[in-house]
Chains A and B, each alone.
Chain A
Amino acid sequence: MSRPDASAAHPPHRHGDKPVTSLLSILRKPWLWAFIAAGAAFVATAAVTQAGGWGLGMTALTFAAFSVLVGIGQMFVITLGPGNVDLSIPATMTLAGTLALKAMAGDPAMIPVGLAIALASGLAVGVVNYGLIRLLSIPPIIATLSASFLIQSAAIWSNRGLRVKPPQALADFATGRALGVPNVAVVALLVAVLAWVVLERALAGRRVLAIGQNMRAARLAGVPVDAVRFATYVSCAVLAGLAGFLLASFSGGAALNMGAEYLLMSIAVVVIGGSSIAGGNSNVPGIWGASLFMFLIVSMLNSYGAGAGVRMILTGVIIIAIVAAAGGRKVSR
């Protein structure tokens, strides 16, 4: 089964018009629209904002970085095919942030331990999630949902009482900039590059795509389906752990609801970024474009004086409009 692609609908171009073809092929990239939309929102906001374009751009990079981290994990999970989605991301972020900050207790020497704990809690969540999916044959949505109840309780239980501040050095890193670019954006960019290499150039990514296009065919072709799905769910949870660690350090402590908005965000950036929600066809650049767009659209509505209610309504309407305009892939079963 060939990879379903927008270009499949068009007849192949003849040789000889190579430059034109490459230009056209960029125009046909599904992730282009996310960047165009983000650019439009940026221009519209920068026109009225006091901070100026540079400040706005850097803020957007900072906040987009957190969405990128969870979005990439969610993208790999969604790529696995219909029904695959991780709803435990918000709870995982909260748990990782809480446990890590508690372990560090403000001591800069403990930062590596804190990071290790955040990643390990993500790892544990991923193992539990896939264990439920595989051993109990629970649909991924229900498995990750029930797991997230347990994770959330664990986070509430460990978080009770004080709000622990992150070590100063870590807080400085999370809010700081290197050569003018926010550090968290650099981290997210590195993760995105790694994810792109895995998805587009590595065997593992090809296998994820193959499973998403047809799990049975992939199994018959010798793809170790279970191992690949296991690794995908675990990576998603580990990335959520990393995002929770950075977000808690960035915002001066872990809050119980700190992951809440990232449930919608992680799914929205995948879809707006041009990946197929039906799986089997994903791209990494779109995650960045969509994450920037999701932040900029809110700041645009803010700068035009929209209240909280109007802002929420328009955010919802815009997401639905984009998804409706992109249209769903016809699933032939």
Chain B
Amino acid sequence: MNRDQLRILLPVVSLAVLLGAVFWLQPRAMSYLGLNLLFNLAVPIALATIAQMLIIMVNDLDLSIGTFVSFVACVTATLVQTDPVLGYLVLAAGIAGYAAMGALIHLRNLPAIVVTLGMSFVWGGLAVLILPSPGGASPEWLRSLMTVKPPLVPMAIVASVVIAVAAHLLVRRSAFGVVLRGVGGNAASVERAGWSVLKAKAAAYALAGFFGTLSGMALVGLTTAADANIALRYTLLSIAGVILGGGEFTGGRVSPVGAVIGALTLALAGSFLSFMRLSPDWQIGAQGAILILVLAVRLLVSRGRGRRVAA
């Protein structure tokens, strides 16, 4: 088994174990309707996790993705609904803002956490300006797209597979993806080989903005309304999803399929805990504990492998 296959194994096993536990606790979840409920909110989380993964891929960290998704949700629930042309222009401007942020971080050699923390204020402020109190409505086509009921497999699962495959092709199978991962691995050598690191970073950020935009739109399609704080927890969830999915913080070593599985695991963890009749107080804490547990297991696995190689 090579390294990439091993990297994907642990997230798959974690998801399978968790899913098995859920089915064991609540056998009725093992149905079309049950799965749909379990993974209902997984699609926007998976999209936000891919966005975060693209940033982590170029060795940065995005602490603004949660507020950005909230901002997109507010735009989608108001402007896109009432004035589609202006609405889509604003969404495009948001993606351009992400590209500009990536370019600025590279040009001035700035710490990404500080710039993205600052941007989180900007997106949050814009969201409050656009939608001062919770409300708005989902565009009709979006609502019907998110609630479509394909035969056999629920929409959330189908969408997650599509997201995983699309991101996999983009990041792992395209020449463009190789350059982007190269920036995370060794920016200097990418530069020397004749590619523009500036363009690559701006592109990675723009792509992250694009996936963040999809996440906000999917969220509105599911919830049918928005508010300025709707997705704040996505910042932490997306980072956790990337790491759960076998991604590493440096070196451009990320796995899109793993990231989607990580997001599904986190979405499932919430349902699992409510089946366990665990007090809601401990829900966030349990997500933290699951994260620590998976990282501990990963350490044991890699140590075990290291020993075998040495022997």
Q: How far is the CA of A213 from the CA of B161 in the complex (A)?
A: 44
B-contacting 9-mer, from A173-181, A182-190, A313-321: A313-321
Q: Once the chains bind, are B117 and A328 in contact (CB under 8 Å)? A: no
Q: In chain B between 95 and 142, which residues have their CB closer than 8 angstroms to a CB of chain A? A: 104, 108-111, 113-115, 117-122, 124-129, 132
Main secondary structure of the interface of B (DSSP, over half): helix
B-contacting 9-mer, from A37-45, A60-68, A151-159: A151-159
Q: Once the chains bind, are B115 and A323 in contact (CB under 8 Å)? A: yes
Main secondary structure of the interface of A (DSSP, over half): helix
Interchain CB contact (< 8 A) of B281 among A83, A157, A313, A329: A157
B151 part of interface (Cβ distance < 8 Å): no
Given contacts A153-B281, A319-B118, A327-B108, contact A85 B113 (CB under 8 A): yes
B292 part of interface (Cβ distance < 8 Å): yes
Q: How far is the CA of A328 from the CA of B115 in the complex (A)?
A: 11
B295 part of interface (Cβ distance < 8 Å): yes
Given contacts A312-B122, A319-B114, A328-B111, contact A142 B291 (CB under 8 A): yes
Q: Once the chains bind, are A319 and B117 in contact (CB under 8 Å)? A: yes
Inter-chain contact count A-B, CB under 8 Å? 141
B-contacting 9-mer, from A110-118, A130-138, A238-246: A130-138
Q: In chain A between 42 and 91, which residues have their CB closer than 8 angstroms to a CB of chain B? A: 83, 85
Closest chain-A Cβ to B243's Cβ sits at a distance in Å of: 6
Q: Once the chains bind, are A316 and B119 in contact (CB under 8 Å)? A: yes
A303 part of interface (Cβ distance < 8 Å): no
Given contacts A136-B296, A153-B286, A264-B121, contact A146 B291 (CB under 8 A): yes
B284 part of interface (Cβ distance < 8 Å): yes
Q: Once the chains bind, are A271 and B114 in contact (CB under 8 Å)? A: yes
Closest chain-A Cβ to B13's Cβ sits at a distance in Å of: 18
Q: Once the chains bind, are A310 and B125 in contact (CB under 8 Å)? A: yes
Q: Once the chains bind, are B279 and A324 in contact (CB under 8 Å)? A: no
Which partner residue on chain B sits nearest A310 by CB separation? B125
Q: How far is the CA of A139 from the CA of B298 in the complex (A)?
A: 13
Contacts of B239 in A (CB 8 A): 141-142, 145
Which partner residue on chain B sits nearest A264 by CB separation? B117
Q: How far is the CA of A154 from the CA of B283 in the complex (A)?
A: 11
Q: Once the chains bind, are A312 and B281 in contact (CB under 8 Å)? A: no
* Number of chain A residues whose Cβ lies closer than 8 Å to a Cβ of chain B: 49
Q: Once the chains bind, are B129 and A319 in contact (CB under 8 Å)? A: no
Given contacts A264-B120, A323-B114, A324-B104, contact A146 B288 (CB under 8 A): yes
Q: How far is the CA of A132 from the CA of B236 in the complex (A)?
A: 18
Interchain CB contact (< 8 A) of A313 among B109, B125, B291: B125
Contacts of A311 in B (CB 8 A): 125
Contacts of B286 in A (CB 8 A): 153
Contacts of B110 in A (CB 8 A): 323-324, 327-328
Q: Once the chains bind, are B117 and A153 in contact (CB under 8 Å)? A: no
Which partner residue on chain B sits nearest A319 by CB separation? B118
Q: In chain A between 230 and 250, which residues have their CB closer than 8 angstroms to a CB of chain B? A: none
Which partner residue on chain A sits nearest B289 by CB separation? A150
Q: Once the chains bind, are A160 and B288 in contact (CB under 8 Å)? A: no
B240 part of interface (Cβ distance < 8 Å): yes
Given contacts A156-B281, A315-B121, A327-B108, contact A277 B114 (CB under 8 A): yes
Known: A83-B249, A309-B129. 20 other contacts (CB 8 A): A136-B295, A142-B239, A142-B295, A146-B289, A147-B292, A149-B285, A149-B291, A150-B289, A156-B284, A264-B118, A267-B117, A268-B118, A309-B128, A310-B129, A311-B125, A313-B129, A319-B121, A320-B119, A328-B108, A328-B109
A interface with B by C-beta (< 8 Å):
83, 85, 132, 136-139, 141-142, 145-154, 156-157, 160, 263-264, 267-268, 271, 277-278, 307-317, 319-320, 323-324, 327-331
The 3 closest A-B pairs by CB, nearest first: A153-B285, A149-B288, A316-B121
Sample (18) of A-B pairs whose CB atoms are under 8 Å apart: A139-B249, A142-B243, A145-B239, A147-B292, A148-B288, A149-B236, A149-B287, A150-B289, A153-B282, A153-B286, A156-B281, A268-B117, A307-B129, A309-B125, A319-B118, A324-B108, A324-B110, A324-B115
